[in-house]
Amino acid sequence: MTIGHIAIGNYTIRDWREDDAASIAQYANNKKIWINLRDAFPHPYTLADADAFLCKVMGMKPRTYFAIASDDEAIGSIALMPVDDVHRFTAELGYWLAEPFWGNGIMTDAVRALSEYAFNELGIQRIFAEPYTTNAASARVLEKSGFSLEGVIRAAVFKDGRMLDQYLYAKLNKNALQQDRPTPSAFPE
């Protein structure tokens, strides 16, 4: 399964392609981005890191990591990371955007669009995100996208030499609390 192409104003959410490596390496090599992401996201970010990322995400079935593109150039990433077992209708949301594009509402539009896709096409019932409490911009994106703050997870992560708290934001599918449930796999192959 692929997402194809979702228009979000002058931008698109689309599947990753091999030719995105150079733009990923260019934009992701930014400490201001790295500081707000998990350590699996390297800094400095090299072309080899971009190639490894693309190899990983393009081989996933189903694909759950997508490019955010401007004029077909990848300028960021947005992903749904499925949870398993009793949480199988839940997905974690993660994202980053190139610094030159910050403050334009692009990520808010992307989060809204991917949330609707997850609810309507994948049968996801709950999407959550856990931005660090030091990342006020990400918290604003989630709030403007209809996510509710469910709490603060204290001393949850160790990043850049210090312990940080995380917010827990979530958004429910409008049908999430109905008695009838979707089929057992929210992420069909």
**What is d(CA 60, CA 142) in angstroms, rounded to the nearest whole number?**
26
Q: For 78-126, write each residue's pLDDT tens digit.
A: 999 999 888 889 999 999 999 999 999 999 999 999 999 999 988 999 9
pLDDT at 25: 98
How large is the angle between the packed helices 21-28 and 47-58, nearest 10 degrees? Answer: 120
pLDDT at 9: 87
pLDDT in tens, the chain (189 residues): 567 789 998 999 999 999 999 999 999 999 999 999 999 999 999 999 999 999 999 998 888 999 999 998 999 999 999 998 888 899 999 999 999 999 999 999 999 999 999 999 889 999 999 999 999 999 999 999 999 999 999 999 999 999 999 999 999 998 777 756 555 555 555
pTM summary value: 0.90
CATH number of 5-127: 3.40.630.30
Q: Kindly list the distances between the CA atom of residue 41 and the CA atoms of 11, 45, 106, 170, 184, in Å, as whole numbers in the listed order.
A: 24, 8, 21, 23, 31
pLDDT at 57: 95
pLDDT at 88: 87
> Residue 161: which residues within 8 A CB-CB, separation 6 or more?
none
pLDDT at 31: 98
